[in-house]
Chain A
Amino acid sequence: MLGFYMPVARAAKIDSKPWTAPPQGTEVNAWLAIGADGIVTIRVPHTEMGQGGLTSVALLIAEELNVEWSKIRAVFADPNRHLRNNKEYKIMSTHGSQLVALQHPHLMLAGASARERLKEAAAQAWGVPRSGIEAKLGVLTAGNRKGTYAEFAAAAAKVKLDKEPEIKSPGEWWLLGKGHQRLDIPNKVDGSAQYSIDIRVPGMVYAAVKASPVPWGTLKSYNFDAIKSRPGIIAAIPLRAVPGKRGQPDMQDAVAVVADSWYRAKIALDMLPIEWEFGDSAKASTGVYFNEGRKLFDVAGLVSGKPNPKAAEIIANSKKVVTAEFERPFETHARMEPINATVHVQKDRVDVWSPTQDQSVAVELVAEQTGRDPKDVYAHTMFLGGGFGGNGAGGTGVTRQAAEISKQLGRPVKVLWAREEDLSQDKQRPLSMNRLTASIGDRGLPEALTSRGVWFSMDGINQVGPATADYAVWNMPYEIPNRHHERHNVKTHIPSSTHRAPGANQHGFFTEVFVDEMALAGGWNPLDWRIEMTKSKPDYQRVLAMLKAKANFRTNLPRGEGMGVAVVECHGTIAAACATVTVSRRGQLSIDKVVVVLDSGHVINPHTATEQSEGSVCWELSHAWLGGLDLENGRFINTNFHNYQLVRMDQMPVVETHFALSGGKKWGGLGEPAGPPVPPAVANAIFHATGKRIRSTPFRLQDLSWS
């Protein structure tokens, strides 16, 4: 476990209300301003949801600008300005572990361009060529002439460069690649960090909302008379789905109770008599879906990747066949900050405070819902109490609710979902299943593999291409000569959106448990099998070799102890894991240690990279071990954290993270990839500990006892 003891005095601090622009000095370009005191304020167009995005943007710009880290401050960039100035910040959306990997070029360019313009301003003032000027740690020098960035900021703002500079290559880094204190930490230890749920607007009222318990049901009636004379109650407002609009950001039928405090609104809402009409969706359940999926295992589906009918033929004629069926239930984001949004519709403008990962979409949604020009909508970025993929376009139905209620009441409205509403009405991770079959040939290695996946989602999310339904299966890295993959996308009324490592988060489990089954059937050590079956892929070889060196993986531990491995690639990063577990005779599971090896090409901040690895391990363990949403009669019956459980301190394994970086042109993400290999590594470890093969999650439903 890596320890970081960073000197406190050097930790720069962002403003506690990061959406308000404090006096910043002179704007050099849209991305940064320099104060007379040399403090550089960076405008961050990305979301900080715990993944370190705020700090990453600041680091990338500071690297090129060449300023001491202790002189850096950060504010969130203005989405309204972005829209008015023709998308000045290029992208105001944060997802897919893309911030550093894909957006570093224009972020670094922002810093490099500012630096060159400072140099050019000094060059003109001193009558020397720009190439003769050094810009280092906030100071410009040419021979015995010296000046600060602050002195030249105004002139730099006016400079137009003929040609923008190239950004540095990793070999030239002075700031990136080292461990750095996150900018937001001081705010997050003293209660001053402001989240969307914390916003307080003068005259604000509060709304508690209940949507149809069976998602997309119809609101038939409610009896406001039953609650209207309770203290503080202002209104009950019906919210209506728009016919034909059932997309991710669209609103369902719901009732909102508005009051002068959220507690009063919530209690009244709980007492409000409401009638719903659910239709056939009320017949759905986890059991019904699993049964339907099992039938579809025998029905031809859509082909993922290239078809190869030979695969099934080889299997049909094989003497040694391994086959297994896997299933995983719906899961929920369960961010610690419950779903909320605040909107203030005014005569000439609309303000919105939403924990969105997608500022541009929040602006569009609110503009559409209120019938206003997007240029009159002002979205304010706050810290997020967790996003995990759920706060992008798909997570902003609540923003529409707030916009609609504020529009009707003409007052600022904070909509806050109770945890019960949050868990059951979130855009969930789809229920997913797969049957994998392989024939084992000479050398005990597979000659052919087929798979057929079934995935239940409202719109078959296509974030990673046409085949999220079996993503990580159809694109598994192994050099099996004949592969054929098919999938079924089954439409359900349960809304879904992206969840940390979409597709891979569910299906890494299917692939990597099946790999162990193939390996053992062929007489192979599971880690050696993976090394053999990726031997033409140097990045995989490097990662697996490091896992072998660091994890001390063994299959000969005494009964009751076990180790398991897995490797899954997503978002451009290869992640391998080795889990060590203990299982008591009576079946009590303890997950003791997880060793993670990552290849993201480069790492700009080992501190945040390591914490994302630890966090991703915890994230996926919650779902694989303790989670699982229960769908009964068309609705989720999990109500709170006593019946939808998350990993706690006393269950968390020790996590050791190592980097096997391939460098070069590879830039992979780090917010998501460490999670997917963890559930299969644990399941494989459980097999070695108990002899029991687990092909479904959550593990808590399994009898792991052994004798």
Chain B
Amino acid sequence: MAISLSINGRSHSVDVDPETPLLWVIRDSIGLTGTKFGCGISQCGACTVHIDGQATRSCVMPASQAVGKKITTIEGLANNGKLHAVQQAWVEVGVPQCGYCQSGQLMSAAALLERRKNPTNGEIDSAMAGNICRCGTYLRIREGIHRAAKLLSA
């Protein structure tokens, strides 16, 4: 069945079973592989995208439910080549190790900073607890979020 999805400001027409999780449509049908598969049951956060600005686990969202919504993936976080503050902060702090979870971490962090300009460590913990990092970069993620908050307020 053909459905139309708006991803990173572009319209894509894809022929998929409507209950296919958005994650697989993004990765395999459209070819945006920055969003990752980690668990398939919204336990790890690697699949996090923004749906109308809200951090959403795309592995459990049927693609048909994303029709008519504004979808942003990691590839769309930067603005015309200029890195988003969280991406800039991640580079400055040197956050990623294997990097596989980081697309999801960045999307969750960006969504947090949209609604909370200067989050406390406790607020960061709550907002980010759904994103697993097996390499254990949590301390640097936290530092990156604080750094991004500073960049945004500058």
Contacts and interface: CB of A to CB of B under 8 A. Distances in A.
A315 B79 CA distance: 71
Contacts of A614: 136-137, 139-140
A607 to B, nearest CB: 6
A383 B96 CA distance: 12
A198 B136 contact: no
Contacts of A384: 98
A45 to B, nearest CB: 19
A416 B36 CA distance: 13
B53 interface: no
Contacts of A147: none
Interface of A is mostly: loop
Given A8-B91, A619-B134, A650-B129, A189 B139 contact: no
A191 B103 contact: yes
A6 B46 CA distance: 26
Question: Which bucket holds chain B's interface residue count?
Answer: 35 or more
Interface string B15-57: 0110011001001110111111111110110100000000000
Interface in B62-119: 73-75, 77-78, 83, 87-88, 90-103, 106
B94 A264 contact: no
A32 B36 CA distance: 32
A190 B77 contact: yes
Given A647-B136, A652-B138, A50 B88 contact: no
Question: Which bucket holds chain A's interface residue count?
Answer: 35 or more
Interface stretch (A332-340, A345-353, A491-499, A695-703): A332-340
B7 interface: no
A641 B132 contact: yes
Nearest to B73: A191
Contact of A650 (B33, B125, B134, B136): B125
B75 A418 contact: no
B141 interface: yes
B38 A338 contact: yes
A262 B135 contact: no
A185 B90 contact: yes
Interface string A413-434: 0001011000000000000000
A263 interface: yes
A264 B134 CA distance: 28
B83 A190 contact: yes
B131 interface: yes
Contacts of B5: none
A189 B77 CA distance: 10
Given A648-B132, A649-B142, A336 B44 contact: yes
B128 interface: yes
A336 B46 contact: yes
Contact of A189 (B96, B132, B143): B96
B99 A655 contact: no
Contacts of B98: 48-50, 335-337, 383-387
A307 interface: no
B24 A262 contact: yes
B126 interface: yes
B149 interface: no
Contacts of A388: 134
A208 to B, nearest CB: 11
Contact of B43 (A52, A191, A619, A642): A642
A91 to B, nearest CB: 21
Interface string A152-181: 000000000000000000000000000001
Given A190-B75, A650-B126, A182 B134 contact: no
B33 A198 contact: yes
A336 B129 contact: no
B92 A8 contact: yes
A640 interface: yes
A188 B136 contact: no
A193 B99 contact: yes
Interface string A609-629: 001001111110010000000
Contact of B91 (A186, A192, A198, A619): A186
B44 A641 contact: yes
A206 B95 CA distance: 32
Contacts of B41: 419, 640-642
Contacts of B92: 4-6, 8
A339 to B, nearest CB: 12
Contacts of A615: 97, 135-137
B20 A181 contact: no
Q: Which of A194, A642, A652 has the most CB of B within 10 A?
A: A652
A262 B33 contact: no
A335 B38 CA distance: 9
Contacts of A261: 16, 20, 24, 28-29
A336 B94 contact: no
Contact of B137 (A6, A198, A335, A611): A611
B12 to A, nearest CB: 16
A200 B134 contact: no
B149 to A, nearest CB: 14
A336 to B, nearest CB: 4
19 contacts: A6-B94, A50-B97, A50-B135, A181-B94, A188-B96, A189-B87, A190-B77, A191-B32, A262-B24, A385-B101, A611-B137, A615-B135, A640-B39, A642-B43, A648-B128, A648-B138, A649-B142, A650-B125, A654-B139
Interface of A: 1, 3-6, 8, 11, 48-52, 181-182, 184-195, 197-198, 200, 206, 231, 261-264, 334-338, 383-388, 416, 418-419, 607, 611, 614-619, 622, 640-642, 646-650, 652, 654-655
Q: Give the 6 A-B residue pairs with the shortest CB-CB distance, closest first.
A: A191-B34, A618-B136, A385-B100, A50-B98, A188-B99, A50-B97
Given A385-B99, A640-B41, A648-B138, 7 more contacts: A4-B93, A264-B17, A335-B100, A337-B38, A607-B94, A611-B137, A650-B129
